A and B are shown apart, each in its own frame.
Chain A
Amino acid sequence: MNYEQIMSERAQAISPSPIRRFFDLAETMENVISLGVGEPDFRTPWPIRSAAITTLERQSIFYGANSGLLQLREEISHYMKRKYRLDYCPENELLVTIGGSEAVDLTFRTLLNPGDEVLITEPCFVCYAPLVSMADGVPVSLPTKEENQFRLTPEELKAAITPKTKLLMLSYPNNPTGAIMTREDYEKLAEVLRGTDIMVLSDEIYSELTYGTKHVSIAELDGMRERTIVVNGFSKAFAMTGWRLGWMAAPPEIIAQARKIHQYAIMCAPMISQRAAVEALRHCDADTAHMAEEYDHRRRFLLERFAEMGLPCFPAQGAFYLFPSIEPTGMDSETFCEKLLEEERVAVVPGSAFGESGKNNIRISYAYSLKHLTEAANRMERFLRNHKK
């Protein structure tokens, strides 16, 4: 068989995740200490696990409603109201998905016509551009700058808009920079967007993890709800990554179209996870707050260590990443990461994996114990000393 000829050109055109290659190399080495993973180190809070066990013991696991368990959608609706002053109707404005990722993919597939441009604020999570391409859209990078705290400015947005712009992709709190956007920042973007037909996809998966400030959703702002698709999920807030559960919230017309695709491709999100997630939203606020407090301690700890070792680092206020600049070393991020791995056996992710605008940075995850972080920071300090210019 000539597979290259028979396979989809679009699929073949997508490049594999740039992070994978790097970590395959790390796996061949011994005594490697990683600051690479993008998921919580906490275990899923016990009440959630217990609810899953009870579900297995007492209930049959049938297919459920395409939109997701109604009880769960009701809880999601309450949650969005009490946390973010957002009002979504459980019946027709919410769709429970397999993680936030499916919701992102669904949004692209629901909104995009061939040639539609999607403005993607970068640096960002690696999946957006490939998924846009798979949905026949055209991904357009919208680099943000460290001097603007990696926030998108209205000037940058205005300059990037063309008649083909269909969608603006925002992801705050941001992976990999840890940047957040304030209500004032969003208000300036909203001024540009109101009165246009440009939609917004806001990936708010890290919304529970902000430090010293409360998360704001762009959908809260006047006139924005009707043009925004909010994506969120259970992975980061409740340490439920492997449970694969997220949701999208949007006007009913959009949910109706997205639900068709979801129905044919997925049927419904996993029912065990959905029943457990009801418990998460009802009873686990304290667990979430506790995890956020610990992340905050680690964040401050690392920022201080980086300052001491002379590694300039943007003071991130969200997610569980730091994005220090390695510019003073004179190395690009790929070289820096390879050398750091070879010489000190510390695995971090090159910033270039998250877009061209991250090429002078590295992504550090602090979803690790303090002991682990201390050892990694010690090794990095030694590395920087050896490579002082």
Chain B
Amino acid sequence: MKELITLLKQNARLSNAELAAMLGRTEETVAAQIAELEQTGVIRGYSVIVDEELADRDTVSAYIELKITPQPDCGFDELARILSSFEEIESVTLMSGGYDLGITITGNGLRDIATFVAQRLATLDGVLSTRTHFVLKRYKEKGILIQDEPDDERGVAF
């Protein structure tokens, strides 16, 4: 299963037949294993890595640190759930260290994000403070390079 997950993480668009060949299993086995991973929730979904700069130059992303007040019964979970339900927010993670939640958000221009932080985020009950970092350039995401692959410098060898 681990090998299968590794391959899917590298390229989720590999066909079951290709995965089967690479892993030395039958196509049916691979299909069943993927189904199992999906059913048990190990695989939560499939996405795509986009070079936003090429796709849409106006897109702006930010990483926001949040300090929040933990709730009596559910700690950080309740607020994390609320944040996860916002469509603009791409990721929500509970962090150790100097702040509690880290979120990433993508919008159309600085104004979008500023508005979101000021009007929707900072006003939420339990949010003590926010700290917004704008993304200037992305080089790599989920193991995929967001840049041209370096030229193959290898010469002719034997």
**Do residues A39 and B157 form an inter-chain contact, with CB atoms below 8 A?**
yes
Known: A293-B3, A370-B11. A301 touches B22 (CB 8 A): yes
Contact A126 B158 (CB under 8 A): yes
Taking a contact as CB atoms closer than 8 A, the residue among A19, A127, A297, A370 that contacts B156 in the complex is A19
A39 and B154 within 8 A (CB): yes
Task: Tell me if B24 counts as interface (CB < 8 A to partner A).
Answer: yes
Judge whether B18 is part of the interface by a CB distance below 8 angstroms: yes
Contact B156–A125 (Cβ < 8 Å): no
Nearest residue in A to B157 (C-beta to C-beta)? A38
- Residue of B7, B24, B156 near A23 (CB, 8 A) is B156
A sample of 16 more A-B contacts (CB under 8 A), given A17-B158, A19-B158, A300-B23, is A37-B156, A39-B154, A41-B152, A41-B154, A125-B158, A127-B158, A175-B158, A297-B22, A298-B22, A300-B21, A300-B24, A301-B21, A304-B17, A304-B18, A369-B149, A370-B10
Chain B 17-43 per-residue mask, 1 if CB under 8 angstroms from chain A, else 0: 110011110000000000000000000
Q: Report A210 CB to chain B, min CB distance, Å.
A: 15
**Does any Cβ of A come within 8 Å of B143's Cβ?**
no
- A interface residues, Cβ below 8 angstroms from B: 17, 19-20, 23, 34, 36-39, 41, 125-127, 175, 241, 293, 297-298, 300-301, 303-305, 369-370
Report chain B residues within 8 Å CB of A175.
158
A293 / chain B contacts, CB cutoff of 8 Å: 3
Please, which residue of chain B has its CB at the minimum distance from the CB of A17?
Answer: B158
Q: What's the Cα separation between A290 and B11 when bound, in Å?
A: 17
Q: What's the nearest-Cβ distance from chain B to residue A181, in Å?
A: 21
Write 18 A-B pairs (CB below 8 A) sorted by A numbering.
A20-B156, A23-B156, A36-B156, A37-B155, A37-B157, A39-B154, A39-B157, A41-B152, A127-B158, A293-B3, A297-B7, A298-B22, A300-B21, A301-B21, A305-B21, A369-B149, A370-B10, A370-B11
A297 to B25, CA, bound (A): 12
Q: Identify the B interface with A (CB < 8 A).
A: 3, 7, 10-11, 17-18, 21-24, 149, 152, 154-158
A293–B24 CA distance with the chains assembled, in angstroms: 12
Task: Quote the shortest CB–CB distance from B82 to chain A (angstroms).
Answer: 40
Which of B155, B156, B157 has most chain A Cβ within 10 Å? B156
A34 to B157 Cα, complex, angstroms: 12
B158 / chain A contacts, CB cutoff of 8 Å? 17, 19, 38, 125-127, 175
Once bound together, how far apart are the Cα atoms of A126 and B156, in whole Å?
A: 13
Specify the chain B residue showing the minimal Cβ separation from A303.
B21
When chains A and B are docked, how far (Å) is the Cα of A175 from the Cα of B22? 22
A contact residues around B18 at 8 Å (CB): 301, 304
- Given A19-B158, A37-B155, is A304 in contact with B21 using a C-beta cutoff of 8 Å? yes
The CA of A37 and the CA of B154, in the complex, are separated in Å by: 7
B128 → chain A, closest Cβ, in Å? 39
Name the residue in B17, B152, B155, B157 with the highest tally of chain A Cβ atoms < 10 Å from its Cβ. Answer: B157
Rounded to whole angstroms, the CA-CA distance of A244 and B157 in the bound complex is: 14
Q: How long is the Cα–Cα vector from A369 to B10 in the complex, in angstroms? A: 11
A-B pairs, top 5 by smallest CB distance, nearest first, are: A304-B21, A23-B156, A297-B22, A38-B157, A37-B154
CB-CB under 8 A from B22, the residues of chain A are: 297-298, 300-301
Within the assembled complex, what's the spacing in Å between the Cα atoms of A300 and B23? Answer: 7
What's the least CB distance linking B158 to chain A, in Å?
5
Q: How far is the CA of A218 from the CA of B152 in the complex (A)?
A: 36
Select from chain B the residue with minimum beta-carbon distance to A299.
B22
Query: How many Å from the CB of A324 to the closest CB on chain B?
Result: 15
* List of A residues within 8 angstroms of B3 by Cβ: 293
A351 CB to nearest chain B CB (Å): 13
The distance in angstroms between the C-alpha atoms of A175 and B158, with both chains bound, is 8
With CB as the reference atom, state the residue of chain A lying closest to B6. A293
Give the nearest-CB partner of B154 in chain A: A37
Rounded to whole angstroms, the CA-CA distance of A130 and B10 in the bound complex is 43
Query: Which residue on A lies nearest to B18, using beta carbons?
Result: A301
A105 to B91, CA, bound (A): 58
* CA gap between A38 and B156 in the complex, in Å: 8
**Residues from chain B with Cβ under 8 Å of A34 in the complex:** 152
Which B-chain residue is minimally distant from A39 (CB atoms)?
B157
B143 vs chain A, min Cβ distance (A): 13
Q: How far is the CA of A161 from the CA of B110 in the complex (A)?
A: 80
Contacts of B10 in A (CB 8 A): 370
Q: A101: nearest residue on chain B (CB-CB)? A: B158
Which residues in B have their C-beta under 8 angstroms from that of A369? 149
Residue from the set B11, B154, B155 with the largest chain A CB neighbour count within 10 Å: B154
Residues of A within 8 A of B24 (CB): 300
Chain A residues in 8 Å Cβ range of B17: 304
B2 to chain A, nearest CB (A): 11
Assembled-state Cα–Cα distance A175/B154 (Å): 18
Question: What is the bound-complex CA distance between A187 and B108, given in angstroms?
Answer: 70
